[in-house]
Amino acid sequence: MKDKIVLITGGARGLGAATAKKMAAAGAKVLITDLLQAESEATVASITKAGGEAFFLEHDVTDEARWAEVVEAIEARYGGLDVLVNNAGIASDGTPLATMTLESWRRVISVDLDSVFLGIKYAIPAMKKRLGVWQGGGSIVNISSIYGIVGSPGAAAYHAAKGGVRLLTKGAALELAPDKIRVNSVHPGFIETNMVKEGIRKMAALVPDISENEMMHEVAQRHPIGRMGLDTDIANAVFYLASEESSFMTGSEMVVDGGFTAQ
């Protein structure tokens, strides 16, 4: 990853921040984008303090014009793009389909699926500018979910979006293979991030006589490996797919879930 130019959306905290830190530690030049300015700047400060190179831009990933500006900024600074990690996302709010509003549905689809399309679209020309610099070409890693593979009640919009990311990845991989741009997806299980913890809080609130900690334990025990995942577990998978060590992988889905979907 040394000297590779990397763009990570949703890089303020959680999976995005862990991935940014791992890539920067390996010598990549990293652009973090997010709407959380203070947390993004803290992540950048942590990277630079450790001797890495990173900067931050505020970025609404549903805004096509802003995608163009962000990619132009990284091109102006470094001359192109080598790796895109489409990580930004939000969860469904647990509303059943029968009472879900179209506005709520479209919000999840926009952030979790439309943004991945926009990222791929604007990354392509920037990556083509770097073709020939690296033997393996460009790499796009899309963060999906095990909920892009299996279903559950109360998360229909999230399932639809993450399932869309799964197959968008495969279609893009076939289309971009001649350009030496690889496209793969990562499917995390339950990871100890703010978004997952908030989801577990909501689950616990719906179940009588169970505390948040008890619900956390119950969710952890659903994984055959006996624990929930860490943000570094996903960062390691993304790092591999972004690097040239995975040069024969495209259109693949990497499931990192402690055996959850093997049951």
Query: What string of DSSP letters covers 160-200?
Result: HHHHHHHHHHHHHHHHHGGGTEEEEEEEE-SBSSHHHHHHH
158: annotated active-site residue = yes
Which residue, among 157, 185, 176, has the nearest Cα to 85 in the 3D structure? Answer: 185
Q: Retrieve residue 85's tokens.
A: 């990690």
Q: How far apart are CA 172 and CA 131, in angstroms?
A: 17
**Which member of 78, 122, 147, 158 is catalytic?**
158
Q: Residues with Cβ < 8 Å from 54, sequence gap 6 or more? A: 20, 24, 29, 30, 31, 32, 43, 44, 47, 48
Q: What secondary structure letter does DSSP report for 135? A: T
Which positions are annotated as active-site residues? 158
